[in-house]
Structure 1
């Protein structure tokens, strides 16, 4: 890593192609344009977070740091608001859990999930304009952090940048790229779900 750049900058560069592939294939604007499309997208995100959050928690071993970043509860709240019941939400399909082998890989995977909260502000505003939802009702996943988004990202970035070894950087980069690709495949493949 070059001096002063930090691991977050390296991950941004090394995951750029995977990030662009996800954005290209996801076509979020079309998916959130209708309530069924939006509900299905949230159901897919729920299945992804249901697999990834526990794996990250185990590999990271720092509940205090991770707990305020978990997004399963806001996803469930949004899905309830959109008409799914608790049993249907619990029955949603889940992605395969990742194989994470320590703090660096956990933070690399979390880099993808945390980074999505930044872009999620734009998506959340679009959903609010289309459907009238807010951070309390229907858009908690995208907008529930409110003014805390920047502070949570800054503290995550500081934690990531504290990893200075080359082996740690490579592990974080591998995990981040794998998470972007797994998210792309999971969110973009057509499947029937309880949210349909």
Structure 2
């Protein structure tokens, strides 16, 4: 189901509502200096690994696949795992079950919020890839998960947000989308604190 969305789109509202949380996370990540050396970068990869493990099951949910373009192609868990191997780092110890578990019922609005955060991080990965290059890493080794989509980051993001904006949701659903995005940002922040000694 779709609805006519005015200029104040869902994706723009989400950005506005989560700006403070997002900015706090960005500052926390950069305070950890993840591109100072390969050891620090491995910590960053462990953050990414556990976050993408949390949401991995969402990419196989038929209801989400029907709403969002190329959902399976947007999954980055496997490339993060390859990046960890490339830099000689161990897979991090898990801290419980993933946030979303394969085969279990999913609250779609909540899931949309988490996927919004995952997709937004891909959009912002362009400058991270440049930092990774200084460590001798690139989209073929060590920085695979930071690589742009074949069609480019901008178009990849716009096709996602256009689909997100077009989904027909109730006011209660909208609140759960926002809560999902906030929870995703908070989850990543918690992982950053774990691997970067409380920054």
- The residue number in structure 1 matching 2:81 is 76
* 1:143 positional shift: 1.8
List aligned pairs for 1:109-148, cutoff 5 A: 109-128=114-133, 130-145=134-149, 147-148=151-152
List aligned pairs for 1:97-112, cutoff 5 A: 97-98=98-99, 101-112=106-117
TM-score (norm 1): 0.82
Structure 1 unaligned segments of length 5 or more: list them: none
The structure 2 residue matched to 1:186, chosen from 179, 182, 191, is 191
Cα offsets for 1:78-113 (capped at 9, x unmatched):
1111114xxx43x64256533684222211110001
* 1:9 positional shift: 0.4
The structure 2 residue matched to 1:44, chosen from 47, 67, 74, is 47
* Structure 1 residue 16 corresponds to structure 2 residue 23: no
The structure 2 residue matched to 1:156, chosen from 155, 160, 171, is 160
Q: Which structure dedicates a bigger proportion of its chain to helix?
A: 1
Moved more, 35-44 or 59-68: 59-68
Q: 2:112 touches 2:177 (CA, 8 Å); kept in 1?
A: yes
- What is the distance in 1 between the residues matched to 2:182 and 2:117? 9
* 1:132 positional shift: 2.0
Moved more, 181-190 or 62-71: 62-71
- What is the distance in 2 between the residues matched to 1:57 and 1:104? 16
Question: Residues 95, 132 of structure 1: CA spacing in aligned structure 2 closer, same or farther, 3 A cutoff?
Answer: farther
Question: Residues 27, 41 of structure 1: CA spacing in aligned structure 2 closer, same or farther, 3 A cutoff?
Answer: same
Q: How many residues align?
A: 187
RMSD: 2.7
- What is the distance in 2 between the residues matched to 1:186 and 1:59? 29
